[in-house]
Chain A
Amino acid sequence: MKKQLTFVLNGKKISVEAEADTLLLDLLRETLGLTGTKRGCGEGECGACTVLVNGETVNSCIYPAWKAEHSELLTVEGLGDRENPHPLQEAFLEQGAVQCGFCTPGMLVSAYGLLQKTPTPGTEEIKSALAGNLCRCTGYKKIIAAVKAASLKISQP
């Protein structure tokens, strides 16, 4: 069973065909070519596949694509790009919060989700919001510092 799914992706309304059992992660990466979102564990454990659905972080590797129909989706590509990076992306670079970079898209999306709700989070709030994002390079201190720096950039530019 196939269906034409419509949703808002990174601010643009789009329509795309998907099989009933397509995972949101595969729809994004394979069908739509948005490879910023990563597949790590494929089991909800690592957060590399994190995207926002209606403002809430979800693991797209265990999220059916059809569940996302008519939702607003945000992937790391929606945050910013090389020319216009989001303050979070700038801060991650400036603070050295990126090592191999595999966890970074998920970290950025989780951090973005947090800042939307809590513009100036404390360390514990950041840790709790990022607890579902694992960094195998273990650069957590710099990641937390980067989220703090970005929150300051945004709240007092």
Chain B
Amino acid sequence: MYRAYYRPKSVAEALALLQEGGGRARVLAGGTDLMLQLKKGELSCDAVVDISGVKDLRYIREEGGRLYIGALSTHTDLAESALLEKEAPLLAAAARSVGSLQIRNVGTVGGNVVNAQPAADTAVPLMALKAVATIVSPAGVRQVFLDDLYRPEGGVKLDPTCELLTEFSFVSPRAAGAGAAFGRVARRRALALPVFNTAVLLVPGAGRAFLTEARIVMGPVARLPLRARQGERVLLEQGAGEEIFLQAAAAASLEAAPRDSVFRGSARYRKKLARVIVYRTLLQAWENACSRVD
């Protein structure tokens, strides 16, 4: 499959090894996506740069109401984090829904985003949470909103043959008094890719009479995790409430453009599913926002 395998101990060492590879060396974190892609010949490389031994890229911490998650944190790390359960439980729930324990023990949140699947279970809530990714390349460090990381045609604006994603950060929905939730439907309750998933963020204004921010992200209904902008507009213009959530979910389902799939169901079914699941997820997020003691 490949000729060389490196295990750098630092970001600088990893970047140097990638540079030496001249485009034929590629980052591997957990390898749960990459090893399959290499085995099946969907991707090829001459050298693998396994960054799992890089110190300081595996953490979940909070500072001044912002959460910081190292790219090498595994799904198990996220699923079991008491801090995340308190500050952003939707992301812990999303991580718990990934694959099996064997996959969660090895697969990382950074790999989940860089692999750029439109329904990547942690990417969908991270986008709803307005997460910023920190990317280190030979040219320097840049910070990119997840919204801007995806290419409209699919894939991410990050090259794993010369760059590293090191961190995600976002405002804690708890600290912001926001409500957030994750919803998912799959063919089985375990070890099944989502037929549909969604994450929403609702930031209430004074007295919860209106919303200052509303985000709905859905997958896999496009080439990338999709913001339902029309659904969001309904919420921003009208606020929160069961009737409004029904309208917002209907608008979101019109924006969803799933394909007919033997595994995931017909497009028509999944558009209906989108409406139901977005509605339920909005209700849950609002309940979370309202159950807070101010």
Could you list which residues of chain A lie within 8 angstroms of chain B, going by C-beta atoms?
1, 3, 20-21, 23, 42-45, 47, 50, 56-59, 62-64, 66-67, 69, 110, 113, 127-129, 131-133
Which residues from B are CB-within-8-Å of A47?
100, 102
Q: How far is the CB of B15 from chain A (nearest CB, A)?
A: 20
Which residues from B are CB-within-8-Å of A132?
99-103, 190-191
B52 contacts partner chain A, Cβ-Cβ < 8 Å:
yes
A44 touches B32 (CB 8 A): yes
Which residues from A are CB-within-8-Å of B32?
44, 59, 62
A1 touches B3 (CB 8 A): yes
A67 touches B31 (CB 8 A): yes
Count of inter-chain pairs, beta carbons less than 8 A: 81
Could you list which residues of chain B lie within 8 angstroms of chain A, going by C-beta atoms?
1-5, 7, 28, 31-32, 35-36, 38-39, 48, 50, 52, 76, 99-103, 105-106, 190-191
Which residues from B are CB-within-8-Å of A66?
5, 7, 50
Which residues from B are CB-within-8-Å of A113?
101
A58 touches B106 (CB 8 A): yes
16 cross-chain CB contacts under 8 A: A20-B3, A21-B1, A21-B2, A21-B3, A44-B36, A44-B102, A57-B101, A62-B39, A63-B35, A64-B50, A66-B7, A67-B7, A127-B190, A129-B101, A131-B191, A132-B102
A128 touches B36 (CB 8 A): no
A44 touches B103 (CB 8 A): yes
Which residues from A are CB-within-8-Å of B3?
1, 20-21
Q: How far is the CB of A134 from chain B (nearest CB, A)?
A: 8
A62 touches B101 (CB 8 A): no
Which residues from B are CB-within-8-Å of A69?
7
Q: A1-B5, A20-B3 are in contact. Are A59 and B36 (CB under 8 A)?
A: no
A148 to B100, CA, bound (A): 20
A132 to B104, CA, bound (A): 10
**Which listed residue (A20, A58, A128, A129) contacts B5, Cβ 8 A?**
A20
Q: A62-B32, A63-B35, A66-B50 are in contact. Are A44 and B5 (CB under 8 A)?
A: no
Q: How far is the CB of B5 from chain A (nearest CB, A)?
A: 4
Identify 18 new A-B residue pairs, CB closer than 8 A, beyond the known A47-B102, A59-B106: A1-B5, A20-B2, A20-B4, A20-B5, A21-B1, A44-B99, A50-B102, A57-B102, A59-B103, A62-B32, A63-B106, A64-B28, A64-B48, A66-B50, A128-B101, A131-B191, A132-B101, A132-B190
Most buried by A among B7, B48, B52, B103: B103
B190 touches A128 (CB 8 A): yes
Which residues from B are CB-within-8-Å of A23?
35
Most buried by B among A1, A3, A131: A131
Which residues from A are CB-within-8-Å of B76?
56
B102 touches A58 (CB 8 A): yes
Which residues from A are CB-within-8-Å of B101?
57, 110, 113, 128-129, 131-132
Q: A58-B105, A110-B101 are in contact. Are A1 and B4 (CB under 8 A)?
A: yes
Which residues from B are CB-within-8-Å of A3?
5
Q: A21-B5, A131-B190 are in contact. Are A67 and B105 (CB under 8 A)?
A: no
Which residues from B are CB-within-8-Å of A129?
101
A44 to B106, CA, bound (A): 11
**Identity of the chain A residue whose Cβ is nearest the Cβ of B47 in the assembled complex:** A20
Q: How far is the CB of A56 from chain B (nearest CB, A)?
A: 4
